[in-house]
Chain A
Amino acid sequence: MVCVGFRELLDRSSRESVNSAESAESAAVVESADSASSADRSTDEHPATKGPPDSASPLSSRVRTWLERHALALTALCTAAVLVVMLYVPTGIVFVNAVLENGRPTLAHIAGVLTDPFYVGVLADVFADPLAIGAHLRSLTGWVSAISVSLTVAFSVPIPAVDVTVPIPWFALSVPPVRQGLFGFTAVQAALSTVASVAIGLPAAYILANYEFYGRRTLRSLTILPFVLPGIMVAVGFYAMFGRTGTLNSVLGAAGIGPFAFIETSPLAVVILAHAFYNAPLVARVTVAAWESVDVRAVETARSLGASKRRAFRDIVVPQLAPAVLTGALLTFIFTFMTFPIVLALGGLQLATVEVWIYDRIQNLDYADAATLAVLETLLSLGLTYAYLRYESARSGLSQAASAPPTEPLFPDLRTALSPRRLAIAGYGLLALVLFVGPIASLVVGSVTDGGGFTLRNYAFLLERQLAGEQYQALPWPAIRNSILFGLATLAIAVPMGVVISVLTVRAGRSGTLVDTLAMLPLAVSGVVFGIGLLQGLVFGLPLPGGWRLQVTGPIAIIVAHAVAAYPFVTRNVSPLLVNLNSAMVESARALGASRFRALLDIELPLVASGIVAGAAFAFAISIGEFSSTVILASGNGSYTMPVAVERYLGRRSGPAIAMGTLLLAVTAASFVVIDRVGGRYEL
């Protein structure tokens, strides 16, 4: 019986590195001048941490030098190994169902989906007979000529006090009906959600990066809090905020307006807002990180050369922010393309997306159809990612230092506070209050109320379960403890993984872009499919020759699975900042004898620290929020986390689950603040 733990694997890889270090001893002579100079340099730079003299332990020094030289390669190797076991194999064993029938390769499933109008709408005809170009063109021109653009008044606000109806133009396109199919509708709602998320996220980034106000740091830490909320909590929170008797209508009612049926009037608009609730903070956080590492000295230079403020912003700052903003948009599109519980919970089955069907097919054990849909979904996401990364890697930065724009006080005095710009900021603040704070606050209020008013019975339930719960039940404290431990461990694994992929791919040309695209697979694979792959591959065990089976479960497997889901966020936060850097700086350091790793550690990482901190916060958030891989990989009852406990308390009364969800929010919020504060020490 052999049992290979992840830890042992790490041990072995470091042992091997020692061996290779010894065998490399003879070669070290050639490099001695080189390594001596690098040792000298490290002595110069870190006099306080200088250990015993090098002559006392030449071997350990050589090992250290060797490790330093190969640190990047080793981390990359570990990353690759983790990805193969925890991502490519589980995903692969489900994906093959799309192209196999009874063990024989087939394209029938893919052809079946591509020619089914239910899935691809009008494109089904094109896929069915791709060569009938003339016929397709004719139907296209017929359709285009029938388009007429008109703005309709679809939504009006009755104001009872004065008895008038104010018409509000609503975005309703009047084009001849096109059967979009499941994929078409999914893409359309994802595109709309992306536009909304960017539109709502950018002002937040602008305010957080440019103004100083009380609680700015804390607010920046809390931006991604929505990210960890289980879908059920967001759905219930949105109804509690925007429902007919929700918080917003209560507030408006107090002012004599309403009530409005926000959700009933336009379910699609509410779904898009819910997507913005999740993703606008993402856009904001990624952009803030970029904004804070902008090299504003170039702005000053431009200004001194006579550029107007606006011109300097457009020519210097915008190009440095663009990769981050586009990254946020890309991630938002991919997430909302694969959105699942939230569309159905708020919008209903009419707004079903591809992921809904994947889930349904998996439930029916129809792996061929599920895999086919998922493969198409992944190809689309990866295609978009590749297109973006081509753009990102083609850029070359000139930034030489992270000197963020100076922040100015938000409301220094009354006069400034009444300026148009400040009023616009205040207006945006109100919107953010309604959209982000509203649903969360309504949830918290819901956890302490029932039909009879204020109650603490839901929290009493949590306390009682903690004190008197049985071993087979979910208890609040172990859930909190596991969540935090898994989150920190995920952060520790995901940050190096993400950074190494950024570093290796950012300026590596087309092949780098390809590797980077493949490395984004965790974001581009259907969550449902990944879960089933983990179950069938790692939990049930992979058959190996000789009747052996490889099984991977338990806490470490959960952590590694979380890290796999999380590291793309680190990469996507760090890469846009890395491309902004002037590559000449690293080249100079290398020319002066620094190893690649040393140059990374001493030059690049400090300059992109704000991106790493943002990425670390995301990694933690992903781990806290992750549900399906946690329940699938947990062996026995010991490894449940907070969202799992929320799910398990969900009975016919929602109170206990919502109280647990509130606890989740509180714990996560506190953790974010701590991570940002600790990480902030390393920012310049």
Chain B
Amino acid sequence: MKRRPFVTALGGGLTAGLAGCLTRDDTDEENGGETTDPEPDDPDLEGTLEVVTYESMLDGETPAGPWLKDEFESTYPDAELEWTLLPDQGINHYISRASRGGTIDPDVYLGLNVDDLVTVDDNLDDGGLFRELNLDRIERSDRIRDGLDMGDPHGRVLAYDTGYISLVYDETAVDEPETFEDLLDPAYEDALIAQNAQTSDPGQAFLLWTIDAFGEDGYLEYWADLADNGVRVLDDWTESYYGAYMNEERPMIVSYSTDQVFASAEGNDLSRHQTAFLNDQGYANPEGMAIFEGADEVDLAYEFVDFALSNAAQAEIAERNVQFPAVADEHVDLDDEFDQYAHEPPEAVTIGYEDLRGNLDGWVDDWARDFASQ
């Protein structure tokens, strides 16, 4: 990568603020088309690995990012891990960049969802943006639990943790709902808060969960019934949870099954933080990692992916990020407190890549139009 040091030098040449710039497009094309990365005889474990990830991995209260950086750098003394904050547009930022033939600086993307991959493939060439991973180079990849296979036909992504969407309810106000049909009962009239599937991850997960339960022909009807029973669809998880739910506007909300971890840390009464798994299910939202097609530090990137699946890293990611590990139980040791408050559903459901592909936008749009024009 010749561009980065050049831009830095240019930036340093200007005084305090780099304002306007004319740069020349890179002319040397990276050969990003190869299918697998063969195991090198002499891997290059020296250099700076640039990893892009979302805010709470770096800036949250107990972020996993700093631990991962320190531990990775002490495992690979010649390597440096450089964090990059995911731009505001998320994956769309890199899709736009790639479709304009611009260069992409980071080597690894940490925090990729299945629907991100669908968006990539809907807008770029099939299987684009990230490398197809050679799993022989990632020894720990077979530790990943069944059901967290993210279903990418191009094998670009591996899960490193997962969350489950469930309902959180106030047991002093309502009984535990057991099925989706229960939510239509008069006992739950004006009781549920959900989030907008257009803008919010839990909101979209809950919508997909209802599609899994009622099929793409039945979910709109179910939602019409939910609307009749007074469901309120707010914007983001934060406002709906810390605004509406915590000020007791309503006794039930679509949220995460790790809710009690935070509630107990806040010193809240847990009676308002009960977890309900409808149909004994939770909707799994696995988070994955992938290596960019044009990565400079391919060898280090492979090492990082394997490192993130190690016993210690899995425990730290899970507890700091308050998500569940991606590896099977025998490969990770979690604190008892985490086990006590983080609840796993008896059955995890998720709609995989194949079904989302070409459908996701339409499903969400049909639902939102129905809802907004009521």
Contacts and interface: CB of A to CB of B under 8 A. Distances in A.
Contacts of A535: 89, 93, 96
B32 interface: no
A460 to B, nearest CB: 11
B25 A557 contact: no
A5 B14 contact: yes
B203 to A, nearest CB: 9
Contacts of A1: 10, 22-24
Contacts, number: 233
B134 interface: no
Contact of B88 (A356, A364, A536, A631): A631
A624 interface: no
Contacts of A461: 61
Interface residues of A, number: 84
B235 A345 contact: yes
Contacts of B266: 450-452, 653, 655
B22 A548 contact: yes
Contacts of B85: 472, 637, 648
A348 B371 CA distance: 10
Interface of B: 10-11, 13-25, 27, 55-56, 58-61, 63, 65-66, 69, 82-85, 87-89, 92-93, 95-97, 100, 102, 119, 123, 190, 196, 198-199, 232-236, 238-244, 246-250, 256, 262-263, 265-269, 322, 361, 365, 368-369, 371-374
B267 A5 contact: no
Contacts of A236: 238-239, 242-243
Nearest to A650: B238
Nearest to B244: A239
A365 B369 contact: no
B16 A349 contact: no
A340 B296 CA distance: 40
Interface in A235-278: 235-236, 238-240, 243-246, 261, 263-264, 267
A9 B17 CA distance: 14
A445 to B, nearest CB: 12
Nearest to B82: A472
A606 interface: no
Given A236-B242, A349-B196, A360-B199, A647 B55 contact: yes
Nearest to B122: A365
A263 B20 contact: no
B269 to A, nearest CB: 7
5 contacts: A7-B15, A263-B244, A345-B243, A550-B21, A551-B22
Contact of B238 (A181, A232, A555): A232
B56 A651 contact: yes
Given A349-B371, A356-B198, A365-B92, A555 B235 contact: no
Contacts of A628: 88
Contacts of A380: none
A462 to B, nearest CB: 11
Given A3-B10, A118-B373, A652-B56, A235 B21 contact: no
A261 B249 contact: yes
B20 A4 contact: yes
Contact of A555 (B13, B16, B236, B365): B16
A557 B18 CA distance: 8
Most A-side CB within 10 Å, residue of B20, B63, B66, B262: B20
Interface stretch (A22-30, A34-42, A163-171, A539-547): A539-547
A647 B88 CA distance: 11
